[in-house]
């Protein structure tokens, strides 16, 4: 800020050079116009485009159907691509051609899947069937034990004042379960056509995954280059940075999350086998799949194990707590930092909000894909903000009001 004298000898505060009459402000010039009318017309045009789109949205229905059909196989193939790409690069380093490397990977994956289907799946199927049959009994015993404990505890007077009848609750739950089962059977019977259609679409998606995966492994690294050639030359450098950062984010998340989930599943299964927990392998597989969801996954995985442990014995509950604590400590202190590091740079509170929002909007798919989707969005928005700062600085004559470059900020934080 500079102080100066005007023609009458009085002091005046000025920031930067004075704007001539009729000259556009820095904000208007930044937006690309010369007057406020430009901004108003731009806002009206955007609103008009949104209004027209709402009126003729049915025209885009085939496009919506196309993308909804393609999303699942492309998503599965992309996950497999990021898991297999490091192995393919390793095979290329030992002078195995890309095509032969892909064939070796396909044979290896097919052999692994066959092994799991014939050795692990039958055992898991039996455990799952038994757990489904016995879980209502576990839940009933849990309610009865909880009721008995509360009636004999220091909270007995308050609990009895609530006038809760466990038998009535159990009968109501059993009746609701029976009604839900009946309604579900009726809904399935009345919607057999839609069910078959959905099943057919899922089977076709699974069948197309190997073909998509083959071309991703073969030409996936060339795809960004072809896209860059279609963009204007002025945009190619920025788009290249975005592609590189997005690829790094997805690769780190997919590879890291899958490896961490496998480690958690193995540790939980071994720990439950050691303490003699029923359905140890099934609960370990459940922990492996649910650990893909940060923070909420462990809660989902521990719930059935805790119910079984409480009903079994108080000692089993203590053993379960010890095993789960050890698993979480090993995963949090050793496995995740070594495998994933801090590649996503997302605050835990942000992760929770993203999971809740994505789950409310998109359901289970939103919970699973919310974090990588947010990471990609963050890459694009962060780079666009960098371009915004560069453009703003170009139109701001006062250097004291310029945005600082992010590289300098990161360097200061690292120091």
> pLDDT at position 8, please?
44
pLDDT on residue 107: 92
- Give the residue, 223 or 155, on which the prediction is more confident: 223
Does some domain include residue 360?
A: yes
- pLDDT category, 344, cuts 50, 70, 90? low
Specify the higher pLDDT residue, 336 or 283.
Answer: 283
> Partners of 3 in the beta sheet?
13
Locate 304 and state its tokens: 């059935």
Joined together, the tokens standing for residue 187 give 């809904």
Q: What band does 156 get if pLDDT is binned at 50, 70 and 90? A: low
Geometric angle at alpha carbon 154, from 151 and 155, rounded to 5°: 60
Instruction: Spell out the residues 6+ positions from residue 373 whose beta carbon is closer than 8 angstroms to its own.
Output: 358
The CA distances from residue 379 to 36, 393, 414, in Å, are 32, 21, 20
Of 72, 80, 63, 78, whose CA–CA distance to 376 is shortest? 78
Measured CA to CA, the distance from residue 305 to residue 281 in angstroms comes to 11
Q: Among 25, 35, 37, 17, which Cα is nearest to 392's?
A: 25
The answer to the question of residue 8 being in a domain is no
Give the residue among 330, 252, 335, 320 at the shortest CA–CA distance from 284: 320
How far is the C-alpha of 201 from the C-alpha of 203, rounded, in Å? Answer: 6
Residue 188 reports pLDDT greater than 50:
no
Q: What does the mean pLDDT of the chain come to?
A: 75
Q: How confident is the model at residue 362 (pLDDT cuts 50, 70, 90)?
A: confident
Does 139 reside within a domain? no
Here the tokens at position 273 are 């086998």
pLDDT above 70 for 392:
yes
What is the token pair recorded at 368? Answer: 């699973």
Residue 293 lies in a domain: yes
Confidence of residue 103 (pLDDT cuts 50, 70, 90): very high
User: Which residues constitute the domain of residue 319?
Assistant: 228-392
The closest of 386, 100, 131, 97 to 282, measured between CA atoms, is 131
Residue entry with tokens 């009994």: 137
Amino acid 21: pLDDT: 47
Mean pLDDT of all residues in 132-157: 72
Is 414 within a domain?
no
Residue 294 has pLDDT above 80, yes or no: no
Kindly report which listed range (184-188, 336-340, 347-351, 393-397) carries the lowest average pLDDT score: 184-188
For residue 276, how far is the Cα from the chain centroid?
34
Q: Who wins on pLDDT, 347 or 97? A: 97
Residue 298 lies in a domain: yes
Residue 257 lies in a domain: yes
- Which of the two residues, 215 and 31, has the higher pLDDT score? 215
Q: Residue 107 domain-assigned?
A: no
How many domains does the chain contain in total?
1
**378: closest CA among 336, 345, 340?**
345
- Going by C-alpha positions, the residue among 342, 297, 351, 348 that lies closest to residue 324 is 297
Q: What distance lies between CA 386 and its chain's CA centroid?
A: 25
Q: What is the pTM of this model?
A: 0.66
Q: How confident is the model at residue 407 (pLDDT cuts 50, 70, 90)?
A: low
Helix or strand (DSSP H, E) at 278: none
Instruction: Sort 342 into a burial class: Cβ within 10 Å, 0-12 / 13-18 / 19+.
Output: exposed
Q: Which residues contact 150 (CB under 8 A, 6 or more apart)?
A: 156, 159
Instruction: Tell whether the model's pLDDT for residue 250 goes beyond 80.
Output: yes
Evaluate if residue 189 carries a pLDDT over 50.
no
pLDDT range class, residue 12, cuts 50, 70, 90:
very low
Among the listed ranges 73-77, 163-167, 301-305, which one has the minimum average pLDDT value?
Answer: 163-167
3: phi then psi, degrees, rounded to nearest 5: -105, 140
């Amino acid at each position: 800020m500079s102080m100066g004298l005007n023609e009458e000898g009085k002091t005046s505060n000025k920031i930067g050079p004075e704007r001539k009459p009729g000259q556009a402000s820095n904000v208007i010039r930044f937006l690309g116009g010369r007057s406020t009318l430009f901004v108003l017309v731009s806002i009206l045009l955007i609103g008009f485009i949104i209004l027209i789109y709402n009126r003729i949205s049915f025209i885009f229905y085939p496009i919506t159907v196309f993308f909804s059909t393609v999303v699942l196989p492309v998503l599965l193939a992309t996950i497999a691509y990021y898991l297999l790409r490091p192995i393919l690069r390793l095979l290329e380093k030992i002078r195995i051609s890309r095509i032969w490397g892909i064939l070796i990977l396909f044979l290896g994956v097919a052999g692994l899947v066959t092994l799991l289907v014939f050795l692990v799946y039958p055992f898991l199927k039996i455990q799952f069937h038994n757990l489904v049959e016995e879980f209502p009994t576990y839940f009933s015993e849990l309610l009865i034990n909880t009721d008995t404990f509360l009636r004999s505890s220091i909270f007995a007077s308050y609990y009895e004042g609530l006038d809760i009848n466990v038998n009535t609750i159990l009968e109501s739950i059993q009746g609701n379960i029976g009604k839900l089962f009946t309604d579900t059977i009726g809904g399935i019977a009345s919607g057999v056509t839609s069910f078959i259609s959905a099943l057919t679409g899922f089977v076709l998606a699974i069948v197309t995954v190997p073909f998509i995966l083959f071309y991703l492994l073969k030409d996936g690294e060339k795809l960004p280059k072809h896209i860059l050639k279609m963009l204007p030359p002025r945009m190619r450098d920025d788009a290249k940075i975005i592609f590189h950062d997005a690829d790094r984010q997805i690769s780190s998340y997919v590879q890291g999350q899958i490896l961490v989930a496998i480690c958690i599943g193995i540790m939980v299964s071994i720990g439950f086998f050691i303490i003699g927990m029923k359905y140890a392998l099934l609960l370990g597989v459940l922990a492996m799949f649910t650990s893909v969801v940060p923070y909420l996954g462990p809660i989902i995985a521990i719930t059935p194990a805790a119910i079984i442990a409480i009903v079994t014995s108080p000692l089993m509950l203590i053993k379960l707590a010890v095993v789960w604590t050890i698993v979480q400590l090993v995963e949090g202190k050793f496995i995740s930092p070594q495998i994933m590091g801090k590649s996503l740079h997302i605050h835990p509170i942000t992760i929770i909000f993203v999971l809740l929002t994505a789950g409310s909007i998109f359901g289970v798919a939103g919970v699973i894909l919310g974090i990588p989707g947010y990471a990609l969005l963050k890459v694009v928005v962060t780079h666009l903000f960098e371009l915004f700062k560069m453009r703003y600085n170009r139109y701001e004559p006062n250097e004291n009001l310029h945005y600082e470059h992010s590289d300098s900020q990161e360097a200061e934080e690292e120091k």
